[in-house]
Amino acid sequence: MRGRRIKAALAGHRGELSQARALLDDSDAATRCAALGALDRLDGLTAAELQAALNDLSVSVRRRALELAVKHPEVEIEVYLSDPDSSLAETAAFVLGERAETKALGALTTMASSHADELCRETAVAALGALAAMECADRAMILTCLLGAMTDRAEVRRRAVLGLFQFEEPEAQEAVEAALRDKDRQVRAVASELLGVVGD
């Protein structure tokens, strides 16, 4: 088993596309993950192979496939935002932000405002901050969600401040300025850096 994992990993460095592809169906999940990575390194991973990996029985394989989907916008991954496994949902949120996928805006705002997992909310807020820069995005929806995130845990508030700084609306500017008095030192530090003022 370990030998097959090594073969899969090395295939990506040796240009062995056929070797990597043959190991996509290996019985060992870690080997399948390594084979996906090898094909990606060789620019040989197809959308069909990635989609198949997203339906794998192993959570680790599905998570690896989601990570690699950042370079494959043709592969739909929005459905994974509601996956019961929070690690998959969080990874999907990150990738959708990286892909600047505005069609996932509604699902991301739902995750940012109500997901039970704190890291999922944090990542969704970060993704919304990235989408705020897109001209075709519903900026009003993003603004409302980011303002609401300012009542969440400190890590989420820090992400929200970064997103809110991109808005010229008075309520956004007020929220960033209010973050200078946040109870969390790191939130205050982010606001201070963005506003160019001396923090505590």
CA–CA gap between residue 123 and residue 66 (Å, rounded): 14
Q: Please tell me the CATH code under which domain 101-200 is placed.
A: 1.25.10.10
Predicted TM-score (pTM) of the model is 0.91
Tell me the torsion sign for CA atoms 73, 32, 107, 153: negative
The pLDDT assigned to 34 comes to 94
Please write the tens of the pLDDT for every residue from 156-173: 999 999 999 999 999 999
The pLDDT assigned to 50 comes to 96
CA–CA gap between residue 4 and residue 1 (Å, rounded): 5
- Assigned token pair, 46: 């197809």
Average pLDDT over residues 132-142: 89
**For 40, how many CA atoms within 13 A lie in the half-sphere containing its CB?**
18
- Give residue 1's pLDDT band: very low, low, confident or very high (50, 70, 90): confident
Q: Is 155 left (phi over 0), alpha (psi -120 to 50) or beta?
A: alpha
Q: Which amino acid is at 109?
A: T
Please write the tens of the pLDDT for every residue from 24-36: 999 999 999 999 9
Q: Are 33 and 60 in contact (CB under 8 A)?
A: yes
- Give residue 61's pLDDT band: very low, low, confident or very high (50, 70, 90): very high
Tell me the torsion sign for CA atoms 142, 144, 147, 149: negative
Average pLDDT over residues 54-78: 96
CA–CA gap between residue 141 and residue 166 (Å, rounded): 14
Q: Which amino acid is at 54?
A: L
Structural domain boundaries of the chain? 101-200
The pLDDT assigned to 190 comes to 96
Long-range contact pairs involving 72-75 (C-beta distance under 8 Å, separation at least 24) = 72/45, 72/47, 73/99, 73/101, 74/47, 75/47, 75/50, 75/51
